[in-house]
Amino acid sequence: MNIIVCFKVVPDLDMLSYSDWVVDNHYKIDTSFVKNMINPYDESALELILKFKDLVQNEKIALALTALTIGDSRSNRVLKNLFALKYDKAVRVDCEADIRFNVPFITEIIARYLENNEKQQIIVLGSQSGEGDNGRTPFLLAERLGIPCVSGVVNIEPTGEEDYLKITSDTEDVIMEQVLRTPLILAVGNVQNSYMRVPTLKEKMASKDKEVETIYLEDLGIEKASIEAENDLELVDLYYEKEERVCHFITGHSAADKAQVLFKKYLKEKLNL
């Protein structure tokens, strides 16, 4: 069974202060000085497939895991790390253009890769990214490829039959379990306790000679001039939404006096006492 996980490496925007939020003429912000991270929903997707691999070890189902990302060479470190976690193939589509909000173009890149390479029974993506935050990519990809898409996926289990999976999804406060036949596109949602495992030094050393496969847009038959032509959105502004919290100072002669004020003014009514 071939499984591909599409993920995105994004800057950790929480590390930006208000003064760092300077938007240039191209609606971009300098994030070169902050660390990069795997988009949280994509991290859940990558780990979910590793857990699925653990489950099928006793089912005699052979898995071939591929990780795919679109971006510059800064993504290679993450891809090398995935080799250590037993992903069989790590692929980067080289693209330095600003495609944060260009969902049709991102979808086309993924679709072209899937059409030009070995058939994948399961295609896994995070529900949305921390930058574009659109939540459209899995559904546009499903429409483009003509493959069913399940949203809000939080768990994947084997059924004993290679072509069928038990999928648990959590959408709109409804938890649904379905047994579905592949091929499938899975949009991973809010998975609890889904931080990606950390490879050991031994695992890193064992995979150090594996190379990331780099693919260029020309290899997929895509011209750079078509990047903006594919976009169905126009970015008109980008700004920092400053969150301000209301603060009340509690005064009193002692800690006991302050506790009494806290209880009577703020807690008593809420606790229905």
Element spanning 81, H or E: helix 76-84
Question: What are 67-125's pLDDT values in tens digits?
Answer: 999 988 888 889 999 999 999 999 999 988 888 888 888 999 999 999 998 899 999 99
For 38, residues 6+ apart whose C-beta sits below 8 A from its C-beta are 7, 8, 9, 10, 46, 78, 196
Question: What are 243-258's pLDDT values in tens digits?
Answer: 667 777 888 889 998 8
CB 169 within 8 A of CB 175: yes
CB 197 within 8 A of CB 85: yes
Q: Are strands 36-38 and 9-11 parallel, antiparallel or unpaired?
A: antiparallel
State the DSSP code for 127.
S
Question: What are 205-223's pLDDT values in tens digits?
Answer: 999 889 999 999 999 988 8
pTM: 0.80
What is the mean pLDDT of the segment spanning 219-244?
76
What is the mean pLDDT of the segment spanning 191-196?
83
- In the chain, pLDDT over 70 holds for what percent of residues? 97
Angle at 103 between CA 97 and CA 105, to 5 degrees: 55
17-21, 70-74, 139-143, 228-232 — most confident range: 139-143
Q: Which domains does the chain have, with CATH numbers?
A: 2-230 (3.40.50.620), 246-273 (no CATH)
For 217, residues 6+ apart whose C-beta sits below 8 A from its C-beta are 93, 94, 95, 109, 223, 224
Question: What are 38-62's pLDDT values in tens digits?
Answer: 888 999 999 999 999 988 887 677 8
State the DSSP code for 18.
G
* Spacing of C-alpha 53 from chain mean position: 19
Closest residue by Cα to residue 4 from 153, 137, 114? 114
* Residue 135 to residue 102: CA distance in whole angstroms: 12
Q: 17 — phi, psi (to 5°)?
A: -85, 170
Closest residue by Cα to residue 49 from 131, 124, 146? 124
pLDDT at 241 over 80: no
Beta strands in 72-205 (DSSP E): 89-94, 122-126, 149-158, 164-171, 174-181, 184-188
pLDDT of residue 101: 83
Q: Are strands 213-216 and 89-94 parallel, antiparallel or unpaired?
A: parallel
pLDDT of residue 67: 95
3-state secondary structure of 73: helix
- In the chain, pLDDT over 90 holds for what percent of residues? 41
